[in-house]
């Protein structure tokens, strides 16, 4: 079991490839559709995912795995081909988001706790039968004047560990995602505060993972980068963010973890790519670093598609471009000039 879990984790971390996060909930994708004046219908959600997964150049060359929702894991393209078969054709590992969302925690801090452990063992067995090779659970850590509290950090770390243990029991690689969010209220915290909180969160997460008996060689980490809050006046350079992020990870993430796939966390497409590339230019890291982006891979493709199947080719081209740029970043080879030239 350990060997097969590690083999899946290694496949997801194949050099120059990353993970496409296509696990937006119905509500989240509804907000994205609303920005381009589209109704949130089952058929449009299907068409949108079909546009992405059918971008065979991008999927085959730059994407190792795709995080799906339960709806998408079971869904078919317009011609009846299951999405799982389309992903198999490009050798992409299907994954599944298994948490039920982050809900308010009792208290005054505006903190959240992720739910979804009830019935998870049975759901994971079902997802494994459907071919899911990995799963994802996102914990949300808020920074403000009174948050995060010790209780919130510990509760989310404990839930992540219980989820990871159940995944490994089902033969599924857990992606552990503790996200220290930069866009919560008031969002004016410093980069140093983000580093301190992220370090604290990672320390607690790995403590809980060890206590739960999770095999670190059969999991992946999906953390935030070290950034100032969205309303902060700090404007660190790409190299500053890269160096601080790698420093925090070195201090708190065991070398046994097979890889780290970052979330883009409200950054622009280009910022997410530039930060990742700068990190990969830092030598002697114990783990490979790649991307597990949603918005930062899909933004331009979504607008290009605009709900029309006749736009599939152009939208797939836009998606392939961003995927290629992030592939270069995962190798430390991205540059602004290459991005502009390829576009």
Active site (catalytic) residues? 177, 222
**Pair of tokens at residue 274:** 């530039």
Cβ neighbours around 206 below 10 Å, total: 23
CA separation (Å) from 213 to 97, 216, 231, 280?
22, 9, 39, 30
Residue 213 burial class via C-beta count within 10 angstroms: exposed 0-12, middle 13-18, buried 19 and up: exposed
- Give the Cα separation of 21 and 52 in Å (integer): 11
Cβ neighbours around 252 below 10 Å, total: 18
């Amino acid at each position: 079991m350990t060997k097969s879990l590690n083999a899946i984790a290694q496949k997801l971390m194949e050099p120059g490839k990353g993970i496409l996060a296509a696990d937006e909930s119905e509500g989240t994708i509804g907000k994205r559709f609303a920005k381009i004046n589209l109704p949130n219908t089952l058929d449009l959600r299907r068409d949108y995912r079909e546009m992405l997964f059918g971008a065979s150049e991008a999927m085959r060359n730059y994407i190792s795995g795709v995080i799906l929702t339960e709806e998408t894991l079971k869904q078919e393209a317009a011609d009846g081909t299951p999405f799982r078969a389309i992903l198999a054709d490009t050798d992409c590992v299907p994954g599944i988001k298994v948490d039920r969302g982050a809900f308010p925690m009792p208290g005054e801090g505006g903190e959240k706790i992720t739910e979804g452990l009830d019935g998870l063992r049975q759901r994971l067995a079902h997802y494994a039968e459907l071919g899911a090779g990995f799963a994802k659970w996102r914990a949300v850590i808020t920074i403000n004047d009174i948050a995060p509290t010790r209780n919130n950090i510990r509760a989310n770390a404990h839930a992540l560990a219980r989820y990871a243990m159940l995944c490994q029991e089902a033969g599924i690689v857990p992606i552990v995602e503790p996200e220290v969010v930069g866009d919560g209220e008031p969002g004016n915290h410093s980069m140093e505060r983000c580093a301190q909180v992220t370090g604290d969160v990672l320390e607690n997460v790995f403590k809980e993972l060890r206590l739960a008996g999770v095999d670190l060689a059969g999991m992946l980490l999906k953390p935030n980068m070290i950034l100032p809050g969205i309303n902060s006046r700090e404007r660190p350079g790409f190299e500053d963010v890269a160096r601080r992020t790698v420093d925090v990870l070195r201090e708190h993430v065991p070398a046994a973890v097979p890889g780290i796939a970052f979330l883009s966390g409200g950054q622009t497409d280009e910022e997410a790519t530039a930060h990742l590339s700068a990190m990969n230019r830092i030598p002697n890291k114990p783990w490979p670093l790649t991307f597990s982006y949603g918005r930062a891979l899909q933004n331009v493709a979504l607008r290009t598609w605009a709900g029309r199947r006749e736009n599939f080719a152009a939208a797939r081209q836009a998606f392939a471009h961003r995927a290629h740029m992030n592939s270069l970043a995962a190798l430390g080879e991205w540059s602004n000039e290459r991005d502009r030239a390829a576009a």
